Amino acid sequence: MDRRLYFLLPDANHALAVVNELAHTGVEPERIHALADSRVALGELPPASVRQIHDAGRRIETFLWDGNLVVFGLALGVLLTALVSGNLSGWLLVPLGIMLATFLAGLRFTRLPNTHLDEFRDALAHGEILLMVDVAETRVADIENRVHRHPEAAVGGVGWATRAFGL
């Protein structure tokens, strides 16, 4: 899984300068996505996909988190029912195992970075451009340092990205 870096830029010219520099450092053009308010022309900037615009990643995260909680709750209910009914057999290990697995999945889930588009709606409404750059986790610091050379660029955060499903 890659990391998605978010950068806010004041206009298309500044954003294009950052995109060109990133392209010269080996970031493929299909890994850079620009998003702006409908009143702002992106020009030559690579546009975000429909799924990125509608933040499908956030819906997937919410679905997985809620599903994890439901499975944990069901396993807890089965465990409590078995304990109350006095059924103290080896089958108690099944709900305990499921609860442990969902707990560990939840721990992993809470450690994933989770910046989402909702955090940028005000800036986009004021005419700024959001660049989303998908890079391997090992390149995050390098890319952030390169973008920091542009004083007009504001680092907006880090999220997760995957090429699957056009996210």
Q: Judge if pTM exceeds 0.85.
A: no
Q: What is the DSSP string of 6-66?
A: EEEESSHHHHHHHHHHHHHTT--GGGEEEE--TTS--TTSPBPPHHHHTTHHHHHHHHHHH
Place of tokens 């920091």: 148
Predicted pLDDT of residue 83: 86
Predicted pLDDT of residue 109: 67
pLDDT tens digits for range 31-61: 999 998 888 888 889 988 777 777 776 777 7
pLDDT tens digits for range 84-124: 888 778 788 888 899 999 988 887 766 666 667 778 888 88
Residue partners of 47: CB distance under 8 A and separation at least 6? 33, 34, 35
* Strand partners of residue 130: 8, 35
- Asked if 78 and 95 touch (Cβ cutoff 8 Å), the reply is yes
Predicted pLDDT of residue 70: 93
pLDDT tens digits for range 11-31: 989 999 999 999 999 998 889
Average pLDDT over residues 147-152: 90
Segment among 113-117, 132-136, 151-155, 163-167 with least mean pLDDT: 163-167
